[in-house]
Amino acid sequence: MLTSTRPLISDQDADTLVAALGRRTLMGASVAAGGLLMTPLPGMAATAAAPEAEITVDQARTAPIPIILPNFGGGLGAQIAEVLTNDLTNTGLFKVIPGGAGSGSPDFAAAKSLGARALVTGSVTGSGSVRVEMRLWDVLTSQQIQGTAYTTTSANWRRIAHIVGDVIYERMLGEKGYFDTRIAFISRSGARAHQATRLAIMDQDGANSRMLTAGKWLTLTPRFSPVKDQVAFMSYANNRPRVYLFDLGSGRQQILGEFAGISFAPRFAPDGRSVVLSVTRNGGSDLFVVDLGSGSRRQITSSGAIDTSPCYSPDGSQIVFNSDRGGSPQLYIMSASGGGARRISYGHGTYGSPVWSPRGDLIAFTRIANGSFSLGVMNPDGTGERIMTEGFTVESPSFCPNGRVLAYCRQSRAGAGGAGFASSIGMVDITGFNDRALHTPGQASDPAWSPLNG
């Protein structure tokens, strides 16, 4: 079984996190129970429901989709509209036109004169318990594409905005959105040479940031579970570096396996039943799989080299990892059961931090060459390598759930005494399009994207 240890935060502090950090699945329950109820709205003005809009992501990159958004009635509605506007705008795929009608049948002629391709109507009613109605319309066909009402507590207003954004993203582009997600990260504070690091979590847009650990010990590399409300991470607690599991429902953690050496670089299997990690042994490190139910562990590499940074393919059949078994750090792929490793990176420099896209079509990586860092993607067979962004340090890539965007860490060069050092989280489309900084409270690193509704 997994071994419990003294919490990295107090039991009292852990208890205060329970309500705020529970897994955020849609419950279809009463508002009093904290749920979020979704109700379909029928079409208006005797129009039939329109088919999916035939716009691809590639088309939207070239010409962002003009869409009219209302203020949903002012007050809380205006706040929802602001978050929704930011979600859509930050993708680089939508051009938001403010000022549409709040409710009722839209003026399609006016919308066409503004060049809009789609428009949203809606309203917000209530105070403690709120009802948010939204309708998405195709301007060219004058038809309703989507109509949904959301009923919940007013405290969930930001989440409603993200959910509405996901609906618009999916109906307009034919892919799942990713706005209703969170990012685990490492919050950094203090002087460069003595920074306090804390496990933290926030919404994908940087809002609702919360610290989960106290900052007493060095903390690194958080990873979300794909199925449970858990985060795996590495901590130097009690001056012994090991991997821990943090339960977001209870705020407590446990050691992930007792190893003689240092354990680090955890990554969940796609089914969430096990974690693959790296363990130091005899001057190198090998990969082990730890079963979360039984606590049993199984060694899957024994190369005598440094094998680290493992990541499963979405179907769980393969693992990509970093190894210096060939003389320098490169990327390798092998069966998830171990054995048959084959090298896939052959560009100039050394490679690390591989992560498989949720789509299975790409592997993101960091590359160091000529003293600088690059972040790129390649096909799983090593072909098609593309660099998306570069800098003094760019590392720790993490895909959003639909595989279209990567979060990563960007750090600047430190001068004398650490002056000028900065660590922040960036986001970039997998094509290298729309590279931007994410606003976080203070300095941050090691981003890890949650699954949908995570």
pLDDT of residue 44: 65
pLDDT of residue 36: 84
**Single-letter amino acid code for the residue at 127:** S
Where among 173, 197, 219 does a domain terminate? 173
pLDDT of residue 419: 77
As a whole number of angstroms, the distance between CA 413 and CA 138 comes to 48
In terms of domains, do 260 and 359 share one?
Answer: yes
Place of tokens 């039984």: 294
CB 408 within 8 A of CB 398: yes
Q: Quick check: is 335 in a domain?
A: yes
DSSP code of 239?
G
CATH number where 61 lies = 3.40.50.10070
- Stretches where the chain sits below pLDDT 70 are 1-34, 44-54, 100-101, 454
pLDDT of residue 53: 52
Q: For the chain, how many residues are written? A: 454
pLDDT of residue 96: 97
Q: Quick check: is 274 in a domain?
A: yes
Residue 31 dihedral angles phi and psi, to the nearest 5°: -60, -35
As a whole number of angstroms, the distance between CA 441 and CA 443 comes to 7
In terms of domains, do 198 and 84 share one?
Answer: no
In terms of domains, do 165 and 200 share one?
Answer: no
In terms of domains, do 188 and 330 share one?
Answer: yes
CB 97 within 8 A of CB 85: no
CATH number where 350 lies = 2.120.10.30
Residues pairing with 255 in the sheet:
3, 244
In terms of domains, do 85 and 129 share one?
Answer: yes
CB 266 within 8 A of CB 277: yes
Where among 127, 142, 173 does a domain terminate? 173
In terms of domains, do 302 and 261 share one?
Answer: yes
CA neighbor of 231 nearest in space, from 446, 10, 1, 16: 446
Element (H, E) at 136: strand 129-138
In terms of domains, do 34 and 144 share one?
Answer: yes
What is the bridge-based pairing of β-strands 405-411 and 393-399? antiparallel
CA neighbor of 84 nearest in space, from 102, 72, 66, 101: 72
Q: Residue 134 CA to chain centroid, in angstroms?
A: 26
Give 7-20 pLDDT, tens digit per residue.
Answer: 343 333 333 333 34
pLDDT of residue 415: 78
In terms of domains, do 287 and 406 share one?
Answer: yes
Domain hosting 116: range is 26-173
Q: Quick check: is 18 in a domain?
A: no
Strand order in the sheet with 129-138: 37-40, 143-153, 129-138, 118-126, 65-69, 94-98
In terms of domains, do 221 and 108 share one?
Answer: no
Q: Is 254 helix (H, G, I), strand (E, B) or coil?
A: strand
In terms of domains, do 45 and 73 share one?
Answer: yes
Q: Quick check: is 14 in a domain?
A: no
Q: Quick check: is 21 in a domain?
A: no
Burial (Cβ within 10 Å: 0-12, 13-18, ≥19) of residue 46: exposed
Where among 173, 192, 211 does a domain terminate? 173
Q: Quick check: is 435 in a domain?
A: yes
As a whole number of angstroms, the distance between CA 114 and CA 69 comes to 12
Q: Quick check: is 3 in a domain?
A: no
C-alpha distance from residue 385 to each of 31, 54, 67, 189, 407 (Å): 49, 29, 34, 35, 18
- Domains in the chain: how many in total? 2
In terms of domains, do 131 and 192 share one?
Answer: no
Q: Quick check: is 414 in a domain?
A: yes
In terms of domains, do 71 and 192 share one?
Answer: no
